[in-house]
């Protein structure tokens, strides 16, 4: 698969992590997207496409033939395309940061755990449109056009509430301490009650704190093992032993960490996060 990852304008880095440009689907069946706490917005040119789990061939979620905000998934996913479909390239996607949907639209993100949401629904009552995107011919022009729309959305957004600001601080803390962090550490560090913390997390990013830690930890371990090989003693994550780590990672993938690098290499798998 021919893909490019492009950084957003500096002013948008609080809401956008990356632009993903897919220019070919020659090897799309071996292209993995590891679970992420954020969302992808697919700027779809009527593509008859779907997402499915990494080892299951049937459709898990169909992509709307329009611009859509992706489901928050705990699974490794692959992009699939119906055979014989005439594809127009490039396919553009925007990876949003975990709090971006709440920041831009002041809405709960819980619904994004089960259904793709048309972007037009998010844009209701906002004087912002992306309808002219494909009037621009080059990728650079298309990305600048998308960024202009997000600049407007950022200007129109309500001021970030205290809970969202707190959650962003907690996410930063989790990133810094991911090898050893647990929910109790967060409660003590940020003087939160467990019920309030879980309520705010579900509303703002769509996950519980425990789920977020598990997703982020899996992503880091998976990327580390794929790129550098498996050495349990070098991973330095807070597991009782190798069996404990294998059990934790089995929630996401059935391939044990000790065999993951070989599995990826033997199957010519390309991992989106390994290209960042």
Q: pLDDT for 5-41, tens place per residue?
A: 999 999 999 999 999 988 876 666 678 888 888 888 8
Q: How many structural domains does the chain have?
A: 2
Q: Is residue 271 part of a domain?
A: no
Residues of the chain with pLDDT below 70 are 1, 25-29, 44-73, 79-88, 108-117, 232-234, 240
Q: Is residue 134 part of a domain?
A: yes
Range of the domain at 251: 162-266
Q: What is the pLDDT of residue 275?
A: 76
Q: What is the pLDDT of residue 82?
A: 59
Residue 170 and residue 151 share a domain: no
Q: What is the pLDDT of residue 146?
A: 94
Q: Is residue 276 part of a domain?
A: no
Q: Is residue 237 part of a domain?
A: yes
User: Residue 92 in 3-state DSSP?
Assistant: strand
The per-residue b/e assignment along 7-20, b for 16 or more CB within 10 angstroms, e otherwise, is ebeeebeebbbbbb
Residue 216 and residue 123 share a domain: no
Residue 173 and residue 144 share a domain: no
For residue 8, the Cα-to-chain-centroid distance in whole angstroms is: 15
Residue 172 and residue 148 share a domain: no
Domain-terminating residue out of 126, 156, 186: 156
User: Number of helices (H) and strands (E), helices first, in the chain?
Assistant: 10, 11
Q: What is the pLDDT of residue 15?
A: 95
Residue 246 and residue 178 share a domain: yes
Residue 151 and residue 45 share a domain: yes
Label residue 97 exposed, middle or buried (CB < 10 Å: 0-12, 13-18, 19+).
buried
Q: Is residue 121 part of a domain?
A: yes
């Amino acid at each position: 698969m021919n893909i490019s990852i492009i950084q957003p304008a500096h002013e948008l880095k609080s809401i956008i992590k990356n632009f993903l440009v897919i220019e070919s689907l020659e090897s799309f069946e071996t292209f993995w997207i590891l679970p992420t706490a954020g969302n992808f917005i697919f700027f779809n040119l009527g593509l008859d496409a779907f997402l499915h789990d990494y080892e299951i061939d049937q459709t898990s979620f169909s992509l709307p033939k329009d611009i859509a905000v992706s489901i928050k998934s705990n699974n490794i996913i692959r992009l699939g395309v119906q055979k014989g479909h005439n594809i127009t390239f490039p396919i553009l996607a925007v990876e949003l940061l975990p709090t971006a949907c709440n920041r831009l639209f002041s809405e709960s993100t819980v619904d994004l755990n089960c259904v793709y949401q048309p972007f037009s629904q998010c844009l209701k009552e906002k004087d912002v449109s992306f309808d002219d995107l494909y009037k621009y011919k080059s990728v650079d022009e298309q990305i600048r056009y998308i960024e202009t729309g997000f600049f407007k959305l950022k200007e129109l957004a309500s001021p970030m509430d205290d809970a969202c600001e707190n959650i962003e601080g907690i996410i930063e803390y989790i990133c810094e301490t991911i090898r050893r962090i647990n929910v109790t550490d967060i409660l003590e560090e940020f003087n939160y009650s467990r019920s309030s913390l879980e309520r705010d997390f579900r509303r703002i990013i769509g996950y519980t704190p425990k789920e977020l830690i598990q997703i982020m930890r899996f992503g880091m371990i998976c990327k580390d093992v794929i790129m550098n090989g498996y050495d349990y003693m070098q991973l330095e994550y807070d597991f009782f032993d190798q069996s404990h780590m294998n059990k934790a990672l089995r929630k996401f993938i059935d391939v044990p960490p000790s065999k993951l690098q070989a599995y990826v290499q033997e199957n010519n798998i390309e991992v989106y996060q390994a290209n960042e």
